[in-house]
């Protein structure tokens, strides 16, 4: 073994703590990057596999009736690969705690021959006996139920019935029940009949033969099939064409994972910068040793290779530990997301290219980042290296801050000294501040986005001056409003009619983009009393409705996305109940956490749909604390009057459904920020240790002119705290665009509306205390060591 490699081993033995910091920082960076990269590769693959495993129908046509003969005829039509009959029923189910939730029942003629939109049997009966149902597995958990439990079901036209849970299934084409606040069940036509409903099937599911991933081709095929059905005397009420081969939450998940992937890559980049900082400090400490090696014949390339080998070895150790741990964490994170989105992981396999990226990054990036300071230092001449004594020969000029601090009464000169020392190595200071500011920015961003989300919910709640919406299955006389409005706890009640709608087409076909769950991609037409006090919208374009706006329409901002080419004052075309409806666009309003809706006056609604002044939707303003009692009273009224209820949506249910879509994203962002924070704080600890080591002889000079151990201790710890406070300023500045960008992404994915930029002062206080407290502790140990050195020990230090 040559002398230089013996020196390398000696350095490793002497600097075990500092090198351990380097390996730890690189390992944390690799774990963060590996976790997200592994999760990205697994989840994007598995969500598609799970969804396609259900063989989702290209389209579903709602007809007056679908029988076996019609299914056989449809399957022979041009462009159709397969056809199948089914049906759905929207009802309600009472949970064990007495609350009622929406229940979407899928009617399956033959559970053993189901082909399109099929599901996997899990427990209990594979075919539910009459008067029983199968529950989607998340619905069983949502209801806090078990097999053989019986539940009250309120059917639209059959009233109350009892259904027993005979089994569970897994349907990866559906979102979790808790996320949508909706229960999903599966029954036979015989059970449908026992609920008092028409057992005839009304849903025709088809799979196209040509270009099944092309939505335009699907629409073209469905238009031709609809014309043929109409020629056969069949009435096509609606055609549902969801985004082909795409899970309802796939777009949101992919976008968020890409964002996390960028943040995790930044984390590893910061850990690489920390490595370069550590190597820079090591080189500064060994500058005279480098001069001695050059004096006895060492070449620049040999000496540089020595330190590059050290960095590469640290990178290799980080790869050996970080890559397996990152992949394991990524698999666990993938399992959590899969559970939240209701799909199974068929494989935890990580593609080879993902592993190669992690290994390559761990081996190459630290070497590239350390290459600059290594070459710069090893190119130093022998004379320059040997003349380095660890104390600045050139006295820095006194700046305005020094003078200002010196003039303040009671300011210890230690503060001025600490500030000057902090800015002595500006390159290292810049790296340390970059690490800490980036970590702080991610920490602040995660809590800023959370605060923005909560503010968005509060704003939406402030815009809504009602606490309960009830949708009835059939239209009822307006006199019912007066009776229900007199119930105890009800302050005011208003009529808000509601019906499903679709974007109008020249061929008259009603095409919607909804999934089988009936929620995602829906559009509704609603009547809005002009004098209503239940909403206070913020107008984004145009104006709101006025009493004289017969034939006018106002869209909320999510509904505007259905009509991108229609401007204010122009006519838009809707299809409602199979009838074309032309309306003049008057304005667009901001309405977060609300489904897409087009609002018209009651007179316009009545003229279009000929309701005769009847209504099917009520909204209630309830006294504080009286919502449960009012809901109970309403339920009793509906049962007594035998009124079929489609939906009773409270404010709490709405917020629970909305929060279920986003809080996992905010939590994941917060966890990732803590990984970055760990790397940043390690960088601060390393920087302070290096700074103290470099100033060993300086401390001897301070002691020789009367400096005490306490003075040295205060100087070093104060320097660390000052650096931490400077990083907080950088973190705040960096968090502003970052919070805005992340809030825009999450808000647009969730509501088609960016989240407001909100600064969380709680987050700022927590981060400031965390980073300054750690800075003090990180500085305390090296400062304590320096304060114990004698003058002889410091001045003899090489």
Q: Which two tokens stand for residue 794?
A: 């410091």
Verify that 472 and 602 share a domain, yes or no. yes
User: How many other C-beta atoms lie within 10 A of the C-beta of residue 256?
Assistant: 21
Q: Tell me which residue has tokens 């703590």.
A: 17
Verify that 556 and 571 share a domain, yes or no. yes
Rounded Cα distance between 461 and 731, Å, is 32
Rounded Cα distance between 13 and 450, Å, is 46
Give the lowest-confidence range in 24-33, 413-422, 504-513: 413-422
Domain containing 128 equals 57-240
Q: Which of 327-331, 414-418, 694-698 has the highest mean pLDDT?
A: 327-331
The whole-number pLDDT of residue 639 equals 83
The whole-number pLDDT of residue 46 equals 93
Residues pairing with 258 in the sheet: none
The whole-number pLDDT of residue 393 equals 45
Verify that 301 and 356 share a domain, yes or no. yes
Per-residue pLDDT averaged across 261-286, rounded? 76
Average pLDDT over the chain reads 83
List, as one string, the DSSP characters of 73-133: HHHTSTTEEEEEEEEEEEEEEE-TTS-EEEEEEEE-S-TTS--TT--EEEEE-SSPPTTEE
User: Each residue of 88-110: pLDDT tens digit?
Assistant: 999 999 998 888 899 999 999 99
Per-residue pLDDT averaged across 745-757, rounded? 80
Rounded Cα distance between 358 and 319, Å, is 8
Give the lowest-confidence range in 137-146, 347-356, 398-407, 720-729: 398-407
Verify that 66 and 132 share a domain, yes or no. yes
Residues pairing with 539 in the sheet: 589
DSSP state of 464: B
Per-residue pLDDT averaged across 140-157, rounded? 91
Give the end of a domain, one of 384, 414, 432. 384
Give the end of a domain, one of 654, 675, 692. 654
The whole-number pLDDT of residue 119 equals 93
Q: Give percent of the chain above pLDDT 70.
A: 85
315-345: string of b/e by CB count within 10 Å (b at 16+)?
A: bbbbbebbbeebbebbbebbbebbebbbbeb
- Residue 743's H or E segment, with its range, is helix 709-751
Q: Which parts of 108-254 are beta strand (E)? A: 120-124, 132-136, 150-155, 159-170, 183-187, 201-208, 236-240
Structural domain includes residue 24? yes
Verify that 642 and 587 share a domain, yes or no. yes
The whole-number pLDDT of residue 410 equals 53
| DSSP-derived pairing of the beta strands 596-600 and 523-527 | parallel
The whole-number pLDDT of residue 57 equals 93
* Integer CA distances (angstroms), 202 to 62, 236, 511, in order: 6, 10, 16
pLDDT surpassing 60 at residue 252: yes
Strand, coil or helix: what is 504?
A: coil
Rounded Cα distance between 748 and 416, Å, is 48
- Residue 691's H or E segment, with its range, is helix 663-694
pLDDT surpassing 50 at residue 391: no
What domain count does the chain have? 3
Give the lowest-confidence range in 281-295, 502-516, 684-698: 684-698
Residues 6 or more apart in contact with residue 729 via CB below 8 angstroms: none
Verify that 518 and 589 share a domain, yes or no. yes
Rounded Cα distance between 481 and 464, Å, is 20
Rounded Cα distance between 414 and 397, Å, is 17
| Reported pTM | 0.79
User: Each residue of 201-236: pLDDT tens digit?
Assistant: 999 999 999 899 999 999 999 999 998 998 888 888
Q: Give percent of the chain above pLDDT 90.
A: 30
User: Each residue of 580-590: pLDDT tens digit?
Assistant: 899 999 999 99
Tell me how many degrees the CA angle 306-308-275 measures, rounded to the nearest 5: 130
* Integer CA distances (angstroms), 673 to 33, 384, 405, 763, in order: 12, 42, 35, 12
User: Each residue of 592-644: pLDDT tens digit?
Assistant: 878 889 999 999 998 888 888 888 999 999 998 888 899 888 888 888 888 88
The whole-number pLDDT of residue 580 equals 87
Verify that 117 and 17 share a domain, yes or no. no
Give me the sign of the Cα torsion angle 37, 39, 40, 41. positive
pLDDT surpassing 80 at residue 17: no
Structural domain includes residue 392? no
The whole-number pLDDT of residue 398 equals 46
Verify that 45 and 159 share a domain, yes or no. no
Verify that 45 and 74 share a domain, yes or no. no
Per-residue pLDDT averaged across 125-144, rounded? 94
Structural domain includes residue 786? no
Q: Which two tokens stand for residue 792?
A: 């002889």
Verify that 219 and 333 share a domain, yes or no. no
pLDDT surpassing 50 at residue 531: yes
Rounded Cα distance between 81 and 783, Å, is 77
Give the end of a domain, one of 606, 639, 654. 654
User: Each residue of 407-430: pLDDT tens digit?
Assistant: 555 555 555 565 566 566 666 677
The whole-number pLDDT of residue 158 equals 82
Verify that 5 and 122 share a domain, yes or no. no
Asked if 174 and 142 touch (Cβ cutoff 8 Å), the reply is: no
The whole-number pLDDT of residue 395 equals 44
Going by C-alpha positions, the residue among 651, 627, 598 that lies closest to residue 464 is 651
Residues pairing with 92 in the sheet: 102, 154
Going by C-alpha positions, the residue among 493, 436, 497 that lies closest to residue 471 is 497
Phi, psi of 185 (to 5 degrees): -135, 165
Structural domain includes residue 417? no
Structural domain includes residue 626? yes
User: Each residue of 426-446: pLDDT tens digit?
Assistant: 666 777 777 788 878 888 888
DSSP state of 398: P
Give the lowest-confidence range in 34-48, 305-319, 384-398, 500-514: 384-398
Verify that 25 and 160 share a domain, yes or no. no
* Integer CA distances (angstroms), 531 to 491, 494, 545, 790, in order: 16, 10, 9, 85
Going by C-alpha positions, the residue among 133, 162, 161, 129 that lies closest to residue 147 is 133
Structural domain includes residue 667? no
3-state secondary structure 296-361: CCCCHHHHHHHHHHHHHHHHHHHHHHHHHHHHHHHHHHHHHHHHHHCCCCCCCCCCHHHHHHHHHH
DSSP state of 487: S
Structural domain includes residue 737? no
Rounded Cα distance between 364 and 360, Å, is 6
pLDDT surpassing 80 at residue 278: no
Phi, psi of 549 (to 5 degrees): -85, 55
End-to-end CA distance of the chain: 25
Structural domain includes residue 7? yes
pLDDT surpassing 50 at residue 392: no
pLDDT surpassing 60 at residue 447: yes
């Amino acid at each position: 073994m040559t002398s230089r490699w013996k020196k390398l081993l000696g350095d490793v033995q002497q600097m075990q703590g500092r090198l351990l910091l380097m390996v730890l920082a690189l390992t944390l960076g690799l774990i963060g990057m590996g976790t997200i990269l592994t999760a990205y590769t697994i989840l994007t693959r598995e969500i598609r596999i799970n969804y396609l495993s259900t063989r989702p129908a290209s389209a579903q046509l709602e007809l007056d009736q679908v029988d076996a003969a019609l299914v056989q005829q449809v399957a022979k039509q041009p462009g159709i690969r397969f056809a199948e009959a089914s049906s759905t029923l929207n009802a309600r189910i009472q949970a064990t705690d007495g609350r009622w939730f929406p229940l979407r029942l899928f009617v399956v003629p033959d559970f053993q021959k189901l082909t399109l939109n099929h599901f996997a049997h899990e427990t209990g009966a594979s075919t539910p006996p009459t008067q029983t149902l199968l529950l989607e597995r998340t619905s069983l958990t949502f209801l806090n139920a078990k097999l053989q439990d019986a539940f009250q079901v309120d059917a639209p036209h059959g009233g109350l019935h009892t259904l027993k849970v005979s089994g569970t299934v897994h349907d990866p084409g559906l979102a979790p029940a808790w996320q949508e606040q909706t229960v999903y069940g599966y029954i036979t036509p015989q059970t449908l009949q026992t609920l008092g409903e028409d057992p005839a099937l009304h849903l025709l599911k088809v799979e196209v033969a040509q270009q099944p991933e092309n939505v335009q081709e699907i629409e073209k095929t469905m238009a031709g099939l609809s014309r043929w059905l109409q020629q056969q005397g069949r009435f096509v009420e609606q055609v549902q064409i969801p985004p082909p081969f795409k899970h309802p939450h796939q777009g949101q998940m992919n976008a968020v994972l890409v964002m996390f992937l960028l943040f995790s890559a930044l984390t590893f980049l910061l850990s690489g910068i920390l490595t370069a900082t550590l190597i820079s400090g090591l080189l500064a400490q060994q500058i005279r040793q480098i001069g001695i090696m050059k004096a006895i014949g060492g070449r620049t390339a040999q000496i540089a290779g020595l330190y590059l080998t050290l960095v590469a070895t640290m990178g290799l150790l980080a790869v050996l530990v970080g890559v397996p741990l990152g992949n394991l964490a990524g698999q666990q994170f993938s399992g959590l997301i899969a559970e939240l989105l209701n799909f199974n992981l068929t494989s935890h396999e990580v593609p080879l290219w993902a592993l190669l990226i992690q290994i390559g990054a761990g081996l190459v990036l630290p070497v590239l980042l350390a290459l600059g300071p290594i070459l710069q230092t090893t190119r130093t001449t022998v004379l320059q290296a040997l003349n380095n004594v660890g104390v600045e020969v050139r006295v820095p000029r006194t700046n305005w801050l020094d003078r200002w601090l010196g003039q303040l009464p009671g300011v210890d000169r230690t503060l001025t000294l600490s500030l000057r020392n902090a800015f002595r190595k500006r390159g290292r200071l810049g790296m340390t501040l970059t690490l800490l500011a980036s970590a702080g920015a991610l920490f602040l961003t995660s809590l800023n986005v959370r605060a923005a989300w909560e503010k968005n919910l509060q704003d939406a709640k402030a815009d809504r001056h009602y606490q309960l919406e009830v949708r009835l299955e059939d239209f009822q006389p307006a006199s019912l409003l007066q009776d229900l409005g007199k119930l105890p706890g009800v302050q005011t009640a208003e009529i808000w009619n509601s019906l499903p709608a679709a974007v109008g087409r020249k061929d008259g076909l009603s095409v919607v983009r909804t999934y089988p769950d009936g929620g995602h991609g829906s559009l509704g037409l609603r009547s809005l009393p002009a004098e209503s006090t239940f909403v206070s919208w913020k107008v984004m374009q145009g104006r709101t409705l006025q009493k004289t706006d017969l034939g006018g329409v106002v869209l909320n901002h999510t509904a505007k996305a259905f009509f991108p080419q229609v401007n204010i004052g122009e006519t838009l075309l809707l299809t409602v109940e199979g009838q074309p409806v032309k309306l003049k666009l008057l304005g667009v309003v901001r309405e977060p956490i609300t489904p897409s809706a087009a609002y018209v006056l009651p007179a316009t609604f009545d003229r279009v749909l000929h309701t005769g002044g009847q209504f099917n939707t009520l909204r209630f303003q309830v006294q504080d604390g009286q919502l449960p009692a009012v809901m109970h009273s309403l339920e009793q009224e509906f049962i007594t009057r035998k009124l079929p209820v489609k939906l009773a949506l409270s404010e709490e249910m709405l917020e629970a459904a909305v929060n279920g879509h986003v809080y996992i994203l905010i939590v994941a962002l917060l966890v990732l920020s803590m990984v970055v924070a760990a790397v940043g704080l390690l960088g601060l600890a390393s920087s302070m240790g290096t700074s103290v080591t470099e100033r060993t002889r300086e401390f001897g000079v301070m002691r020789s002119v009367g400096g005490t151990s306490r003075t040295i201790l205060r100087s070093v710890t104060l320097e660390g705290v000052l650096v931490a406070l400077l990083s907080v300023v950088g973190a705040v500045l960096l968090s502003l665009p970052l919070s805005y960008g992340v809030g825009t992404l999450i808000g647009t994915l969730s509501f088609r509306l960016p989240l407001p930029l909100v600064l969380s002062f709680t987050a700022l206080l927590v981060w400031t205390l965390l980073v300054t407290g750690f800075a003090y502790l990180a500085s305390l140990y090296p400062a304590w060591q320096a304060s114990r050195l004698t003058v002889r020990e410091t001045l003899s230090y090489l």
